[in-house]
Copies of this chain bind each other. A is one copy, B any other.
Amino acid sequence: VNAAYERLRNRLADVQSLFRLNMLLFWDQQTMMPAAGSATRGEHRGMLERMRHELLASDETGRLLEELRPYEGSLDPESDEASLIRVARRDHEKAARVPAELRGEMMQAASDGLRTWAEARARSDFARFLPALERHVELRRRYIDCFDSYEEPYDVLLDEFEPGMRTSQVREIFDELKAGLIPLVREAGERDDSDDGGLDGPFPLDRQEVLTREIVELLGMRPETWRLDPTVHPFAGGAGIDDVRMTTRYSEDHVDSLFTTMHEYGHGLYEHQVARELDGTILGRGVSLALHESQSRMWENLVGRGLPFWRFYYPRLQEAFPEQLGGVELERFYRSVNRVRPSLIRVQADEVTYNMHIVLRFELEQDIVNGRVELRDLPQAWAEKMDEYLGIEVPDDARGVLQDMHWGGGSIGYFSTYSLGNVMSVQIWERILEDVPDLEDGFERGEFAPLREWLGDRIHRHGRKFLPLETLEKAVGGTIDAGPYLRYLQQKHGTGALAR
């Protein structure tokens, strides 16, 4: 083995560990930490991120990468070694362009901004959040200035979440989504679904907690490698491929906890099935947010909101909630958890309207970065787009522009990955059905191993070896394409579909 390669690998193992520990601290913060610990937690997380950035950007890392050029040329580009060097070079070159002070300021602003955002949201007062947002945007302008090879400035922000993706590519996909979805949304808005409900709680929390755990076991993950805890804004993370921390949220009013759990299971499984050889290296995690979301949305929607799954699991759900669901037929339940109805809040939106929430944010973010909207006018711009895309009136800032935490922490460029993930999920799904035609028959018998294994083999094991679209290409044999997703939504939610 090449000695310089070993040195690079070990050095970057610390980069990965620092990243993992930061994820674990985030998990702890959201699930376990006493509230008063937050100030110190911000400092600790900032330190880990600073150390990670310094190691990655350092001259020594650059020197090793230079030394490794001839060796790299001798390797199979698909090998773990070549991939590690390639990804390390990309990470290093990006990090080295950004001064450590700017990184520090961004981290500090993220921490401060989230606190300000939470206060502003509680008071539904955008003006209170405005200075923090101005600060975020100013820092992002400075960050963009560190780079020069982009088609448009927004590319630089997008690349943080979706490496290699261009704004123009996203815009093309999203234009196609808009063209297909706006009629579907309008149709749903005009339909009278008032009788389609039927899920009357309360659904006792302790029984939901038993079920969510049972669902993770049913979908399948190696025992003693995971936890599931309640939190306010669910997410999945973890400290390693055998230390997966999923979260969900419970309400007596509905059984959304089950779908949230399946969503976070999708994220968790992706991290869990990264190849063991990559564990502990900078390649040892999911490649991008869109690929991650393709996994979470697949388990949540394509598995979890599908009839085959519920043919197997609905009896168990009825058994857990006999008073609430004993008299509700499977198909009524299925329609209820698939109802399409324009609404104010992204995280509560159905499969169809969800994407319009994303399109709206993606467009506003570009306007922000390109200076086409004054930040103080953002609530109004938001309201106008909500009216245009969903026919919904925004009653206040809390349920409008302040509803998501992303901008609170300065994460501009993140949102589009949600819909990109939706689009990818159906492309992948169609490909799996070609390879495993009886996949959904298996679901009706509670068998999920074929899906897990296909995903592990074709996507998860690669970790960060290839760029997101390269990873997708390896799985489905083509690039990102909105067609399958739009057909799926039309089929499931268009006129005459069962879910209606």
Q: Which residues of A are interface residues toward B (Cβ below 8 A)?
A: 14, 17-18, 20-21, 24-25, 28, 32-37, 39-41, 43-44, 47-48, 51, 222, 224-227, 239-244, 279-280
**Can you list 5 A-B contacts with CB-CB less than 8 angstroms, sorted by A residue number?**
A21-B25, A24-B28, A36-B222, A40-B279, A40-B280
Whether the Cβ atoms of B242 and A37 lie closer than 8 Å is yes
User: Which chain B residue shows the least CB distance to A222?
Assistant: B36
Docked pose: A382 CA to B336 CA in angstroms: 69
Docked pose: A435 CA to B242 CA in angstroms: 54
Chain B positions within 8 Å of A224 at CB level? 34-36
Whether the Cβ atoms of A34 and B243 lie closer than 8 Å is yes
Docked pose: A463 CA to B274 CA in angstroms: 44
Whether the Cβ atoms of A243 and B47 lie closer than 8 Å is no
Given A21-B21, A28-B28: A240 in contact with B40 (beta carbons within 8 A): yes
A contact face: mostly helix, strand, loop, or mixed = helix
Whether the Cβ atoms of B34 and A226 lie closer than 8 Å is yes
Docked pose: A162 CA to B165 CA in angstroms: 56
A29 to chain B, nearest CB (A): 10
Chain B positions within 8 Å of A25 at CB level? 21, 24
Q: Which of B18, B43, B243 contacts A37 (CB 8 A)?
A: B243
Docked pose: A244 CA to B33 CA in angstroms: 9
Whether the Cβ atoms of B243 and A41 lie closer than 8 Å is yes
Docked pose: A36 CA to B244 CA in angstroms: 10
User: Which chain B residue shows the least CB distance to A238?
Assistant: B37
Given contact pairs A20-B44, A39-B242, enumerate 15 new A-B contacts (beta carbons under 8 Å).
A14-B47, A21-B21, A24-B25, A28-B28, A32-B32, A33-B239, A34-B225, A34-B226, A36-B222, A36-B243, A37-B240, A40-B239, A40-B242, A40-B279, A41-B243
Chain B positions within 8 Å of A47 at CB level? 14, 17-18
Chain B positions within 8 Å of A41 at CB level? 239-240, 243
Q: Which of B18, B37, B242 contacts A36 (CB 8 A)?
A: B242
User: Which chain B residue shows the least CB distance to A225?
Assistant: B36
Chain B positions within 8 Å of A34 at CB level? 224-227, 242-244
Chain B positions within 8 Å of A242 at CB level? 34, 36-37, 39-40
Number of copies: 2
Whether the Cβ atoms of A44 and B222 lie closer than 8 Å is no
Chain B positions within 8 Å of A20 at CB level? 40, 44
Q: Which of B40, B51, B227, B241 contacts A243 (CB 8 A)?
A: B40
Chain B positions within 8 Å of A51 at CB level? 14, 51
Chain B positions within 8 Å of A32 at CB level? 32, 227
Chain B positions within 8 Å of A36 at CB level? 222, 224-225, 242-243
A225 to chain B, nearest CB (A): 4
Closest 9 CB pairs of A and B: A37-B243, A40-B240, A36-B242, A35-B224, A36-B225, A36-B224, A17-B47, A34-B225, A34-B224
Whether the Cβ atoms of A17 and B44 lie closer than 8 Å is yes
Q: Which of B39, B44, B280 contacts A43 (CB 8 A)?
A: B280
Docked pose: A243 CA to B279 CA in angstroms: 31
Docked pose: A14 CA to B20 CA in angstroms: 18
Chain B positions within 8 Å of A17 at CB level? 43-44, 47
Docked pose: A224 CA to B38 CA in angstroms: 11
Chain B positions within 8 Å of A240 at CB level? 37, 39-41
Docked pose: A279 CA to B34 CA in angstroms: 17
A488 to chain B, nearest CB (A): 35
Docked pose: A48 CA to B222 CA in angstroms: 28
Docked pose: A105 CA to B234 CA in angstroms: 40
A217 to chain B, nearest CB (A): 13
Docked pose: A226 CA to B43 CA in angstroms: 19
A275 to chain B, nearest CB (A): 15
Docked pose: A148 CA to B488 CA in angstroms: 76
Whether the Cβ atoms of A33 and B243 lie closer than 8 Å is yes
A12 to chain B, nearest CB (A): 12
Docked pose: A28 CA to B229 CA in angstroms: 14
User: Which chain B residue shows the least CB distance to A24?
Assistant: B28
Docked pose: A111 CA to B239 CA in angstroms: 18
Given A20-B44, A32-B227: A37 in contact with B239 (beta carbons within 8 A): yes
Chain B positions within 8 Å of A280 at CB level? 40, 43
A25 to chain B, nearest CB (A): 8
Chain B positions within 8 Å of A35 at CB level? 224
A54 to chain B, nearest CB (A): 11
